[in-house]
Amino acid sequence: MKKNIPNLLTLLNLASGAIAILLATQSHTDYAALFLLLAAVFDFLDGFAARILHVKSEVGKELDSLSDMVSFGLAPAMIGVFHLQSIDNQLFTFSWQNIFFFAFILLYPCCAALRLAKFNLDTRQSEHFLGLPTPAAAFVLMTLQFFPVIDCISWIYIIVSLFLCILMLIEIPLISLKFKNFYFKENIFRYILILCAAILLIFFHLKAVPFIIALYILLSVLQRKMF
């Protein structure tokens, strides 16, 4: 029973991502965002449970990536598409501009899949991440819907999704939030990130997410230079 607890949490991650996609197709993209956040909570808990219970397995590793592909690869792209469709009813009509838009938006889940596949095989990412983790990228794409609607919003989605694809695939070392212990000196940058993220979320809610990710990258660079 104990060894199945992390896998159960991983499946709850997958279920949350699937519900987010379903809600997005019904134009409830704001509620879909909440289920994406719930998926992230389960994604954190499954790894935490596996470490605490000492029940890591190859099945769990593969299941985690498959679930992340749904929740943090496909779901944020779908949320973006159906949010834009609620603004522009012509989005699903045939035009070269729409085809161009969908090609770039669907590039995001493809790059997320490649990022997850590389992570599974890369033994260098036990202490830190190489490239932006898919949940972090998903949060940025998902929160675009909470900013004021402007005329060039579809182009903003294209530019941001392309930028996120690059960040996921380039091998820039980034902080991992996997705590081996809770000593302040060894985890100072993690604590700073968590504290700042909490403050930003309290004051700016989900609009704070892109700024938190920018801070995350900045702190990772500073940590690399100092250590």
pLDDT in tens, the chain (227 residues): 777 888 899 999 999 999 999 999 998 999 999 999 999 999 988 887 877 877 777 788 889 999 999 999 999 999 988 888 887 777 667 777 778 778 878 899 999 999 998 888 777 766 678 889 999 999 999 999 888 877 677 888 889 999 999 999 998 888 887 666 666 677 788 889 999 999 999 999 888 999 999 999 999 888 877 66
pTM above 0.85, yes or no: yes
* Region class of 205: left (phi > 0), else alpha (psi between -120 and 50), else beta: left
Amino acid at 73: G
Which pLDDT does position 131 carry in this prediction?
87
Q: Report the pLDDT value the prediction gives residue 227, as an integer from 0 to 100.
A: 61
What pLDDT does 133 receive?
A: 92
Q: Which fold has domain 2-174?
A: Four Helix Bundle (Hemerythrin (Met), subunit A) (1.20.120)
Per-residue pLDDT, 135? 93
The pLDDT of residue 183 is: 67
Indicate the domain borders of the chain. 2-174
The runs of H, that is alpha helices, within 69-187 are 75-87, 96-121, 134-143, 153-169
Give residue 182's pLDDT. Answer: 67
Give me the pLDDT at residue 158, please.
Answer: 87
